[in-house]
Each structure stands twice: as C-alpha cells, then as structure tokens.
Amino acid sequence: MNTRAITLFAGVGMLYVLTGVLLSWNVSLNILILGLLSAIMALGVNMQWGYAGLFSTGIVGSIALGGLAVVFVSGQPVPEAFAAGGWQAIGGLAVAVAGIAAAVAAWAYMAPGRSRNLAVAAILIGFFFLYRGIFDPAVERIEAFDPATHGNIGGFGLNSIWAWPVGGLFAAIAAWAIGKIALGLREDYLAIATLGIAEIVITAIKSEDWMSRGVKNFVSLPRPWPVPYEVEMQADPGFLAFCTNWGLNPTTTSTLAVKGIYIVMFAIVLGLLIWLLERALNSPWGRMMRAIRDNEVSAAAMGKDVKRQHLIIFILGAAVVGMSGAMYVSMLGQLVPGEYTPLRFTFLIWIMVIVGGSGNNWGSVLGGLLVGWLWLIVDNAGPLVMGAITAGMADGPLKVHLVDAAPQLRLLTLGVALLLVLRFSPRGLLPEK
Amino acid sequence: MDLLNALVAFLNFVVIPAASYGAQLAVGALGVTLIFGILRFSNFAWGDTMAFGTMVVILFTWLFQSLGISIAPLPTALLALPFAILVTSALLLGTDRVVYRFYRKQKAKPIILVIVSAGVMFVMNGLVRIIIGTEEQNFADGGRFLISAADFKAWTGLAEGLAIKGTTAVTLVTALLTMAALFWFLQKTRTGKSMRAFSDNEDLALLSGINPDRVVQVTWVIAAALAVIAGTLYGLDKSFRPFIYFSLLLPIFASAVVGGLGSPMGAVAGGFVVAFSEVVVTYAWKKVLTYVLPASLAPDSLMQLLSTDYKFAVSFSILIIVLLFMPNGLFNKGK
C-alpha cells in the first residue's frame, strides 16, 4: 500500500461517510455490504484476467450458480416432494452426465472415422431419450406437490454459511467444464462461449421450477450464522436494556447492527482472500502465472503447461465469484432469478476490475467499492438529483421522461468511464507493481 | 390428406418462422463477420448497435406517422431505414474515430478491443434507454397478413392453416435484397475487392496501395446498414425491447462462427443453420406426428426435444460443436 492507494481508499471511504451523513446511514451501510461483495467478485475476475489474461463474459453464471447453492444447502426441506421424485430426478441427471462422459470416452478411445462419429451420435441420442424418460416424470411429480408454496425438491435446511463454499464448488465445476472446452481456443471464443454458458445457467435457474422455483422466486432462505433477525433482537430484553441505557432507538439500532455484522463478516472473507492472493502472487506460482500471461510461448518453452495453468486459475477465479454469489443470496434471503443480468453482474464487475487496476488485488477492491457505490447511489440519490435539476422546468412529458431516465444515465457514465480509463490510464487507478 | 396437413403444419410452424428468424440472424451475422474480417475483433457492442439503429427507425417511423406519410401496405419502418442508416453510420464512424482508431494504430491485442467494445456497449445501451426508455415498442404497421390461416383453409379445404405474416414477407425480401447487394458490392466493386483483400492479408493489401482508413470507414458504414436492417426486421417481426437485442448476441455470434468468422457466405449459411436448429429442437412435434403416424402410434406428450426457454442452449451447442470440431467454420476449410 503506497500513498496513492491510501489516498484513493480514503477518498472512497469519504464517499460512504458522505452518503451516511447526507442521505442515511442505512443506505450507506447497504451500499457498503454490496460494495464488499462486488469487491470479492472483482477479486475473482481479477484472478482470471489480471493473473492469466483470460476474458470471461460468464461472471453472471458463476454468481447465479453460487446463489443456487444457497437454495440447495439452506432451502427448507420438502420431504413429500423429494419422496415423489427426488431420487429419480437426480438419477435422470446422473444418466445425462454419464451419457456425456460415455460420448467423450468414445471420442477419445475410438479410432477416428465414420464409425466413431456414428457411435458418439448414437450414444448422445440414446442417452438423451433415456434421460428425458427418467427425468421428466419425476419433475412432473415434484412440481405437482403444492405448487403455490413448494413444487420443488427443497434443500437440506442447513445454515446458509455452509452454502458459501458449496457455491464456490458449483461455480468451479461449471468453470471446469467450460474451461475444458473453450480454453486454448482464440481469446474471443472463450468470451463468446462463456457468454453462452452463463445464459444457459440463468435460463435453467429461471425455468427449472423443481429446483429453484424459477421465476416464482425462492424466498425465506435463512440468514447465515451468526446474523440475528431484527425482530428477535428487538424482543431480546438484554438488547432493549442496552438501547435504553445508551438512549438508542431499538428499531434503528437493530437494523444497523445486522448490517454491521454482515459488513464485518464480508470484510473478514475479503481480507482472508486478499491475504491468500497476495501470498500466491508473490510465490513461485504467481511468478509463473504472470510469465504465462506476459508471454505464453516462452513460458511454454520453459516447460510450463500453459493450458493446465489457465484451467486452474480459471476454476479458482470462478470459485471465488461463485462464493460471493452464495454470500449475496444468503444475505438477501431469497433467490430472484430475474436479477441476474449480464450487464449488472458481468460487465459491471469487469468495469470494477479495469477501473481499479487489472492485476492488482487492492485495485479490484477499490474498483468494487467505488463502482459499486456509483452504481447503487443512483438508485437512491438519482431521482432526488434529477428532481432538483428539473425542479425549475414546467411539468410536461419532457420532465417526466428525464426523471424516468435518470437511472439509465449510469450505464452511459460507466461506459464512458471504462473507455476513458482504457484509453488514458489502461493500468487502472492502482496499477500493478 | 393427412400428409398434406402434416406438411402444411410443418411449413407453418417450422419452416416459415425459422426462415424469417434465420434471415434476421444472417443479416446480423454478416455485420459481425465483416467487422471481424476487417477490424479483427468480436464486437460485443453489436447487439446494442442493432438496438440503437432500430430505435432510430422507430423514431423516424413515429415522425412519418405523425406527418401522415405511409407506404401502406408496407410498414413505414422501411421508409425510415435509409435515415436510420445515416444516423447509425454517423454514430459508428464517430465511435471509430473517438474510440477504436486509437487501439488500431497501437496494434492492440484483439482481446483489448473486445473489452473496449464492451465499454461501447454500455454507452450505446445507456443512450437507447435514455432516449426511448425500457418499455416494449410495437412499430409494425402495414398489412398484417399476406395469407391468413383462415383464407388458406377456405381455399384448400385443409384442416391446417398456412399463415404468412406481412412482416415475414418483408423480412425475407429485405434480407435477400440486402445480401444480394452486399455480395455484389464485395465481389464486383473496387472498394469491395479491396475490403476482401484487406481481410485476407492486411500486409499485402497495404503493399498494393489500399488505403486502410477508407476500408475501415466503408466497413463501419456497411456494418451500420446491416445492424439497422437486422434490428428493424427483428423488431418488426417480434417487438422492440432494448435488452432483447443484447441476448441476440449469442445466436448471432454462433451464426458467424458456424460459417467461419470473417466469411460472409458462411455467416448467411450459419444464420439459417442456427435458426432452423433452434426451431426444430424447440418445436412441439405432436401435431405434425399425429397426422403422419397411424392413430395407434399417435404421441400423447408434446414431443418437444427442448423447452423453448432453452433456445439459447441450441445456439450454444452448435457454437461449441463447431469450435471443437471445425474451429475454422464450415466454409473455411482452406485456411
């Protein structure tokens, strides 16, 4: 950390303080929570891009998979629905995976030629119908059970803090599959392929009701340990006594306290990650990764397995992003598939990484906190500011249009900011040393 | 009779929708492939360029409608096309001057240009949302049907109807004319030939005195025309919503990659391959099969391979298969 970094972090800190003083501390802390999560996502993306130069446009997919993990780990168990077809649905999915594995194996072990092509096609088609035959009736039975409140197989009902590593694991598995396919091709192809896999993940979460209740949203997921509920706090005599002692309003204090606990938890995760990443970057492994990024050919000539290292870092980065996705949903307490748009959860994270400084972990954190603040403050302050600007105007369609368009200004602003940084300061606010 | 009914249902629900969607994808993919061939990067701002162009078309359509100008039974949007192409060309040329040119002169890596195009995407997306808002806009006027299902049934006495929407006919004819004009331009004119030369081998093209700045400018103007046409045809056929155009990126990229990035002919073929696969895989075949099969074998499920929600999975699978087995595309074997 040099003076530049300290000044910039202090400046971003001031933004949050000013928000708290001028608007409300509730808003400021809310934005800080999401800013910390964004910083973790940016760290994951920075691993892929800053360490290895891999451009993935599938960030939103990793985040959504992390969110899905919370549903499986902490969703309320629905034993009736599970009994109706849970094992059969899982069996169907297992058949699908086995089919793909069999096709890959046939491709690898058979001699090239027409018979191999036919065999692979036959395996895929056969397994597809087998999978649909097993899977479809199971899903139908699961979704038939009490569709208004359930219609899903439910989860394990565990504390949602357990979902964090599982979210990372889910995203890592998806990254392994896509990395096996698309790493080693042209860089643009990785970008296009990851765009596709993310789209499919989001579609699955939106439409597989048996799993995530789809667009009906999965609500009332439990909070992670040790975050209490405000209502419980307000009923706790000890807490009430504390409030009266200090002359505090129990309602406000409890909301702020809950937010404070989240901030501490997320800050601890962020701190641990940075510590690990900084250690890794300064180890022989980190030097090797940078050598590969800066010159793949010479790194390969030195005997480094470039493709394998790319796959590893791609998986690790996705795992970090997936974990943050799980943290996000466990904090929200619900999975809202409609929220996962590429603009918000892929390209915005990219802007954080690039504006902050690619290849520098502190830069990603700074970018996450700064861009996250910019993005969210518009929701809260945008209409106010636009209202003030247009206050002198006569009421009319133009005024209405301008006030409505205020939240859209941020897309324009952030796009321009990204272009300016790329052009005039391509190494970002906090350049890599 | 049943076979005829099956054929008509097949035409009505599979061939016609797929052909019109394929034509829209093909025109869009031509733009992606041209930019890739000449400027050598995958343009992530393409979907939003299409949205921008379509928005300008809609604004001009409203203007013409308020002035009482119409070319009924054709949609007014067709009249607005040239104006929108002018505006969009100006935007793209301006973007090139302010943004892309710098990286071209620097000979930046393609991936940097991809990221830059993501920045441009944000700006364009913001512009569209600020100017026209995020709501759905329906701007198709003109004749609704060329042949309506009821008329067709009355004519032929078949149980199944064959409907050809006005927008389908407009899509197919416009797309065909656009492609013909583009191929004529690339094959026959001096500028078109210099573009192909530039795309095949930049160094040799420069050596033989081709002006790179001019090639780039012409490319952006053609790209603008293709974006406006593709976006408008899609918007006329379905409807206009700013964020829908972003999600068209995947099928359009898939189309361009299937035919081999940089190959115009391949982009056209790719557009139809992707569209037909998408419709065939997500269509519920029950109706057609009930006509063809004997009553005892008639299916009781929908006979749908994949739910329509997963249509992107189809473009994605095609993309992956091509990338794995024919990385240069179906039509670029020689390279």
What was the pLDDT predicted at B334?
42
The verdict on A419 touching B (C-beta cutoff 8 Å) is: yes
- DSSP symbol at B137: B
| pLDDT at position A416 over 80 | yes
Q: Assign A154 to helix, strand or coil.
A: strand
| pLDDT at position A412 over 80 | yes
- DSSP symbol at B11: I
User: Virtual CA dihedral for B131, B136, B140, B146, nearest 10 degrees?
Assistant: 160
Which residues of chain B make contact with A412, given a CB cutoff of 8 A?
Answer: 122-123, 126-127, 130
Domain map (residue ranges) of chain B: 2-325
The verdict on A343 touching B (C-beta cutoff 8 Å) is: yes
Say which of A192, A411, A422 has its CB closest to residue B253. A192
- Tell me the nearest-neighbour CA distance from B266 into chain A, angstroms: 17
What was the pLDDT predicted at A330?
93
Contact state of A203 with B120 under an 8 Å Cβ cutoff: no
A3-77+154-424 CATH, one of 1.10.287, 1.10.3470, 3.30.450, 1.10.10: 1.10.3470
Q: Does 1.25.10 match the CATH number of domain B2-325?
A: no
The verdict on B173 touching A (C-beta cutoff 8 Å) is: no
Cα(A372)–Cα(A349) distance, rounded to whole angstroms? Answer: 9
Nearest CA in chain A to B302: A136
Element (H, E) at A109: helix A79-109
Which residues, numbered 310 to 329 in chain B, qualify as contacts with chain A under a Cβ-Cβ cut-off of 8 Å?
310, 312-313, 315-316, 319-320, 323-324, 327
**Which residues on neighbouring strands pair with residue B137, listed in sequence order?**
B240
Span A326-349, pLDDT tens digits: 999 999 999 999 899 998 999 999
Contact state of B111 with A422 under an 8 Å Cβ cutoff: no
Which residues, numbered 215 to 234 in chain B, qualify as contacts with chain A under a Cβ-Cβ cut-off of 8 Å?
none
Judged by phi (left if over 0) then psi (alpha if -120 to 50, else beta), residue A118 lies in alpha
Which residues of chain A make contact with B253, given a CB cutoff of 8 A?
Answer: 192, 195
Say which of A347, A351, A408 has its CB closest to residue B129. A408
Domain map (residue ranges) of chain A: 3-77+154-424, 78-153
Amino acid at B78: L
Nearest CA in chain A to B117: A419
- Tell me the nearest-neighbour CA distance from A358 into chain B, angstroms: 12
Span A61-108, pLDDT tens digits: 999 999 999 999 998 888 888 888 888 999 999 999 999 999 999 988
| pLDDT at position B66 over 80 | yes
- Interface predicted TM-score (ipTM) of this complex, two decimals: 0.89
What was the pLDDT predicted at B27?
96
pTM, full prediction: 0.91
Say which of A128, A195, A401 has its CB closest to residue B250. A195
Amino acid at A282: N
Interface probe with A: pick from B111, B307, B315, B321, most Cβ of A within 10 Å: B111
What was the pLDDT predicted at A252?
87
Which residues of chain A make contact with B327, given a CB cutoff of 8 A?
Answer: 185
Nearest CA among B72, B244, B118 for reference residue A59: B118
Contact state of B125 with A419 under an 8 Å Cβ cutoff: no
Interface probe with A: pick from B35, B115, B135, B335, most Cβ of A within 10 Å: B115
Which residues of chain A make contact with B324, given a CB cutoff of 8 A?
Answer: 181
Contact state of A350 with B323 under an 8 Å Cβ cutoff: no
Cα(A284)–Cα(A180) distance, rounded to whole angstroms? Answer: 25
Say which of A188, A341, A412 has its CB closest to residue B130. A412
Q: What share of chain A is helix, strand, coil (3-state, %, to 5)?
A: 80, 0, 20
Span B8-46, pLDDT tens digits: 888 989 999 999 999 999 999 999 999 999 998 999 999
Contact state of B122 with A418 under an 8 Å Cβ cutoff: yes
- Tell me the nearest-neighbour CA distance from A237 into chain B, angstroms: 49
Q: In the structure, what pLDDT confidence band is assigned to residue A35 with cuts at 50, 70 and 90?
A: very high
Interface probe with B: pick from A55, A117, A199, most Cβ of B within 10 Å: A199
Span B265-320, pLDDT tens digits: 999 999 999 999 999 998 888 888 888 888 777 777 777 888 888 888 888 888 88
Place of tokens 């081999």: B260
- Give the ranges where chain B is alpha helix by DSSP (H): 2-10, 16-39, 46-67, 76-95, 101-106, 110-132, 149-156, 166-188, 190-200, 202-207, 212-237, 242-247, 249-258, 264-282, 286-292, 311-325
Nearest CA in chain B to A354: B115
**Number of residue pairs across A and B with CB atoms under 8 Å?**
129
